[in-house]
Amino acid sequence: MSGMDETSFLPVSRADMESRGWDQPDFVYVCGDAYVDHPSFGASIISRVLEAKGYRVAMLCQPDYKTTDDFKRFGRPRLGFLVSAGNIDSMVAHYTAAKRRRSSDYYSPGGKMGCRPDRAVIVYCNRIRQAFGDVPIILGGLEASLRRFAHYDYWDDRVRRSILVDSRADILTYGMGEAIILRLAELLDRGIPIKKIRDVRGTVYLCERDDKINYPHVGGWDYDALKTDKRLYAEAFAVQYRNQDSVNGRAIVEYYDGKMLVQNPPMPPLEREMLDWVYSLPYARAYHPTYEAEGGVPAIAEVQFSLTHNRGCFGGCNFCALAFHQGRTVRSRSVEGVVAEARKITALPGFKGYIHDVGGPTANFRAPACEKQLKDGVCPNRKCLAPTPCANLRTDHSEYIRLLSEIEALPGVKRVFIRSGIRFDYLLADAEGGDAFFEKLVRDHVSGQLKVAPEHCAPGVLRKMGKPDIEVFERFRRRYFELSDACGKEQYLVPYLMSSHPGSTLREAVELALYLKKWEYSPEQVQDFYPTPGTASTVMFYTGLDPFTMKDVFVPTDYEEKQMQRALLQYKKPENADLVRRALQKCGRTDLIGYGPECLVRPAGGHIAPKDARSGKDTASRARTGDHRTSANGAGSRKTSAPSKKGWAKAKPTVKGTKKKKK
């Protein structure tokens, strides 16, 4: 990327700005990420959208937050500051699920830590206020979006105020922000004071308690009650969740001392023509050249040769914040628009013929779940897929097949892969075209192994996760290997698994360990449940209540028990043996401590038994196992490192210590 011209980017310094003949910018975009001008980065999209409409935008990425000097770099902007923590929450960027400080920052030059502060949005806004007083400040991005209400904060272990209150910003935008920011820019450009802007959808603002609200509204909870009453907090979340649809969502109100916080209903999602326009803008598709000496920005590697074809997700996983951010209604770009972007990728320096992904939140969604959603919105009290697919679900993979085929046909393209998550229950629900897509997926778009997300196997835990029963995954798994065999390919599945999710006791963790043993799968890493703002699972973690049913939920919060649950999923690791034994003793499953083929761990101080002590067979090493390296990447998502050449076993499980012969 060293050959990238700096003029391809928006200004990052006063000299850049002045070289364009500007005396001041209209907006200064302050961002916690390094500057990567690529449509996978929200800051890049918003800044390019504003630029395309004639606004002057300067980029202030990862400023020195310890003084106000950097925030004065471009002077006072004509219309205001735009502030975002970056692509993910700054606390997630800095800390693991165990609250340990991470060793690197995926979105910083050279992966270096310390380039942004904890709670970046609040810190940045405070510095801006110190530097410029009452200049308009508009919040956006994931950290602001998911913290727009009073929210449980895992790192503080308490309910914090809306980030709009704590940051002292003027207005907050939530969800996908292109249409929202253009409307705000238009109003500001017309001279309307930001304190008077109160009717724009997709925004949150503070006002006096008795001020008029422009939309029908619900809520009215007081923060002082929300921070102490867990039942009220869970009830409030359920109301918020059910009103995040642009068709049927109402405004939502919270009170803070003498002020009223109002979330206006969501902005309608961008339709196909607008989405095509957004992704056609002149992105440099690279990190800024000033980072070259530090080794670039690691985050570009995953997305530089990838394509986003859709937005929104009706999957409804409870541990995922997509419903609160992008929404539950799906929209997609045209086949022609995505193919045009793919053609641009083939001309990029370093392109070797491989499109790494054609995906999005869920790769195989292209349209709303049903026709009803277009007219009446998403069902407030019903999930589209779990625990079973809705009778109104519309399943169709034909357009996605056409999209993939047209990209494959481009000159210079050797292979097109799908690395975003595939919703396997949706695939199986497509009776007409699902198998055609499944066959194409296995034949053409898997680079040796496919990542899938069963997450668990215990029915109760899967219900709390919002996932289908494990039998659905088993159907998918069997068909995947049948199709791989038919194509003459030896391919694998690498499953995402989660420990310590609300609803999972030690018994459910043992059940998952036995399931893994059955299929001879040994995950190298597992993801502990990470309570992040904006998810139903986080509400369960904090309150012990399912916000949708208000029934009690068991929550594994004890540190030792969480360690035991994690160890059970990796029961083969010698360093986990003691924890596994203690877990089995605690839940009354000492029958699984021993030398038999059904056992998970040997007795303490035990030796490796001779083969004849174990039915004459050595069951310690078997079918292909998988590499499962995951870490939290944002609300409810995961970043997977380069996998090994191992994957989920294709062979059937061993029975009485024997192995099925390979075909």
What does the buried/exposed string (b/e) look like for 301-317 if buried means 16 or more CB atoms within 10 Å of the residue's CB? ebbbbbbbbbbbbbbbb
How many other C-beta atoms lie within 10 A of the C-beta of residue 64? 12
The residue assigned the tokens 């209400």 is: 149
How sure is the predictor about 178, in pLDDT bands with cuts at 50, 70 and 90?
very high
Nearest by Cα to 127 from 88, 72, 79:
72
> 215 pLDDT exceeds 80?
yes
Domain boundary, last residue among 205, 231, 262: 205
Is 31 part of any domain?
A: yes
Helices 178-189 + 42-52 axis angle, to 10: 40
Q: What does the pLDDT average to over 475-489?
A: 95
pLDDT at residue 611, as a whole number: 43
Cα–Cα distance for residue pair 498/320, rounded to 1 Å: 13
Question: Are residues 533 and 407 located together in one domain of the fold?
Answer: no
Count of structural domains, the chain: 3
> 5 pLDDT exceeds 90?
no
Cα–Cα distance for residue pair 457/567, rounded to 1 Å: 16
Percentage helix, strand, coil for the chain under 3-state DSSP, each rounded to 5 = 35, 15, 50
Domain boundary, last residue among 382, 411, 434: 434
Token couple for 438: 């499944």
Cα–Cα distance for residue pair 513/511, rounded to 1 Å: 5
Question: Are residues 194 and 312 located together in one domain of the fold?
Answer: no
Question: Are residues 426 and 573 located together in one domain of the fold?
Answer: no
In sequence order, what are the residues at sequence separation of 6 or more whose Cβ sits closer than 8 angstroms to the Cβ of residue 191? none
Question: Are residues 21 and 155 located together in one domain of the fold?
Answer: yes
Question: Are residues 92 and 143 located together in one domain of the fold?
Answer: yes
> 613 pLDDT exceeds 60?
no
Nearest by Cα to 29 from 134, 165, 177:
177
How sure is the predictor about 434, in pLDDT bands with cuts at 50, 70 and 90?
confident
- Three-state DSSP at 126 gives helix
Is 298 part of any domain?
A: no
* pLDDT digits 0-9 by tens, 311-325: 999 999 999 999 999
Token couple for 629: 């390296």
Token couple for 508: 């459910």
* pLDDT digits 0-9 by tens, 582-600: 999 999 999 999 999 999 9
Question: Are residues 159 and 17 located together in one domain of the fold?
Answer: yes
> 634 pLDDT exceeds 70?
no
Is 392 part of any domain?
A: yes
> 661 pLDDT exceeds 80?
no
Question: Are residues 420 and 526 located together in one domain of the fold?
Answer: no
pLDDT at residue 647, as a whole number: 54
Phi, psi of 497 (to 5 degrees): -130, 145
Token couple for 319: 């541990």
H helices present in 133-243, as ranges? 141-146, 163-167, 178-189, 223-226, 230-241
* pLDDT digits 0-9 by tens, 76-111: 999 999 999 999 999 999 999 999 999 999 999 999
Is 370 part of any domain?
A: yes
- Three-state DSSP at 386 gives coil
Q: What does the pLDDT average to over 346-374?
A: 95
Show the domain range for 343: 305-434
Cα–Cα distance for residue pair 90/378, rounded to 1 Å: 30
Is 92 part of any domain?
A: yes
State the pairing for strand pair 171-173/137-139.
Answer: parallel
In sequence order, what are the residues at sequence separation of 6 or more whose Cβ sits closer than 8 angstroms to the Cβ of residue 178? 45, 46, 49, 270, 274, 278
User: pTM above the 0.95 mark?
Assistant: no
CATH of the domain at 459: 3.30.750.200
Question: Are residues 416 and 537 located together in one domain of the fold?
Answer: no
Question: Are residues 326 and 376 located together in one domain of the fold?
Answer: yes
DSSP 196: G
The sign of the CA dihedral 617, 621, 624, 629 is positive
Question: Are residues 51 and 146 located together in one domain of the fold?
Answer: yes
Share of the chain above pLDDT 70, in %: 90
Is 254 part of any domain?
A: no
Question: Are residues 358 and 452 located together in one domain of the fold?
Answer: no
